[in-house]
Amino acid sequence: MDKPQQNGESPEQQTNNAQGKPATNNIPPVTPITKSINLSGPLIKKDKRQNSSRFNVSKNRELNALPLLEEASSNEREDLFIQKLRQCCVLFDFSEPLSDLKWKEVKRAALHEMVEYLSQHSGIVTENIYPEAINMFAINLFRTLPPSSNPNGAEFDPEEDEPTLEASWPHLQFVYDLFLRFLESPDFQPATAKRYIDQQFVLQLLDLFDSEDPRERDFLKTVLHRIYGKLLGLRAFIRKQINNVFYRFIYETEHHNGIAELLEILGSIINGFALPLKEEHKQFLLKVLLPLHKVKSLSVYHPQLAYCVVQFLEKDPSLTEPVIKSLLKFWPKTHSPKEVMFLNELEEILDVIEPAEFQKVMEPLFRQIAKCVSSPHFQVAERALYYWNNEYIMSLISDNSQVILPIMFPSLYRNSKTHWNKTIHGLIYNALKLFMEMNQRLFDECNMNFKQENQICEQEYSRDLPAL
């Protein structure tokens, strides 16, 4: 057995984190945006909306351009860098685009220069820089977000809805970029940084994940992942606070803009969990991740959620039974697109399931799949029937055909005659053919039993008919 890893992270992830590199093999899928054909006429795109956060705008906003860092002598450079950081603590009002243009440009140029300098030079992140830099980040980033443009929490539709963009982005973009260069600098010392990046700092950072601007959430995702990787003492706190965000989202608000990004971070974190899994991590899966399936806006973050669930099952196959039973419990009754998402996730789970775990759940699982095959919504029936194209799933079905075929046969046979969609007929024919080749004797038994039961039902119906 492999030796358990330290700090709940794999050695490769610790190395990558220490170097500020993303762990490429741990990156969950990006939420796909499915393009649909608009049959009602030309698609009219709404104008991009901009909204400005509520900053405490500085009273003295007159800035003078400072000398370039490249032109300063080595003994003056640290002091000049600190002056530029302090200059960038001045906040401007972006709700009025034409105000303070000259001074806004001075700040933008200073931020851009520091980003470029930090990416090309070492030795600039000294002990005196930490409090100044982190204070500048906090002053610029931590703010009251503008009111939601979607206060009722209706599901965001990427085809119809334009995200609300942050008006102050010309400055915020460079602040985030500088923050990342700071965290990824070879001179970065976690022991010094932890005096300034504390729990309160993390809480305020997490609040920003509710920003409606996807550009900001993308930066935040990377920043928080870097902090998690470098400041080991904050790891448990970060996980706990992400849990709290999810709890509020599931049981109180059902509205939060950053769930997909937080799940992406968790995908990397889960990948690095040491074995055996701690009980708190199992409870997180069962009490937090699985209930996320019942929120109405599931489509916004489902690929990232499914990735996290599969990561858990690959680490601990014994969790398969409670996971599948929870999915069956939360299975949508009247929302066909959501059913397709559940079927997608279920196939990902079946791709990694252990044969012994499969036998524990196959009966309730295939009763649900039989219902999906009978669905009048052809995409639900089609997605369920695609399971018969999966070689590993077919091997599991073949090994357990005595149980699965009697469950599936009535739905398959009945819908081969009655389903309205011709594509479904072809897929059902393929599934029946595979079952026949798998176990001809059992197939004939199921066929005979189905016809006998059908005949009995018809006789009972005919007997009751005159009484009507």
pLDDT (tens digit per residue) in 262-311: 999 999 999 999 999 999 999 999 999 999 999 999 999 999 999 999 99
The amino acid at residue 404 is I
Q: Could you tell me which of 228, 127, 215 has the C-alpha nearest to residue 168? A: 215
Dihedral (CA of 150, 154, 156, 159) sign: negative
Counting the structural domains of the chain, the total is: 2
* The predicted structure's pLDDT at residue 58: 64
* The predicted structure's pLDDT at residue 365: 98
Mark which of 243, 270, 292 sits at the end of a domain: 243
* The predicted structure's pLDDT at residue 204: 97
In a domain, 129, yes or no: yes
Q: Let me know whether 324 and 419 are in one domain.
A: yes
Dihedral of CA atoms 60, 63, 64, 67 in degrees, nearest 10, equals: 120
Provide the percentage of residues in the chain whose pLDDT is more than 90.
Answer: 68
Q: Let me know whether 71 and 204 are in one domain.
A: yes
Q: Let me know whether 445 and 325 are in one domain.
A: yes
In a domain, 275, yes or no: no
Q: Let me know whether 192 and 321 are in one domain.
A: no
Provide the percentage of residues in the chain whose pLDDT is more than 70.
Answer: 81
Output the average pLDDT for the chain: 85
**Rounded mean pLDDT, 184-191:** 96
For residue 51, list its beta bridge partners: 166
pLDDT band at 48 (very low <50, low <70, confident <90, very high): low
Q: Let me know whether 231 and 322 are in one domain.
A: no
At 19 the three-state DSSP class reads coil
Residues 134, 263, 4, CA angle at the centre, nearest 5°? 90
**Least confident span in 30-44, 225-239, 344-358:** 30-44
Q: Is the pTM of this model over 0.85?
A: no
pLDDT band at 11 (very low <50, low <70, confident <90, very high): very low
In a domain, 289, yes or no: no
In a domain, 44, yes or no: no
Q: Let me know whether 87 and 221 are in one domain.
A: yes
- Domain extent at residue 86: 61-144+164-243
Mark which of 243, 275, 301 sits at the end of a domain: 243
Q: Let me know whether 91 and 203 are in one domain.
A: yes
Mark which of 212, 243, 274 sits at the end of a domain: 243
> Is-contact 360 318, C-beta < 8 A?
no
The amino acid at residue 44 is I
pLDDT (tens digit per residue) in 381-438: 999 999 999 999 999 999 999 999 999 999 999 888 888 888 899 999 999 999 999 9
In a domain, 266, yes or no: no
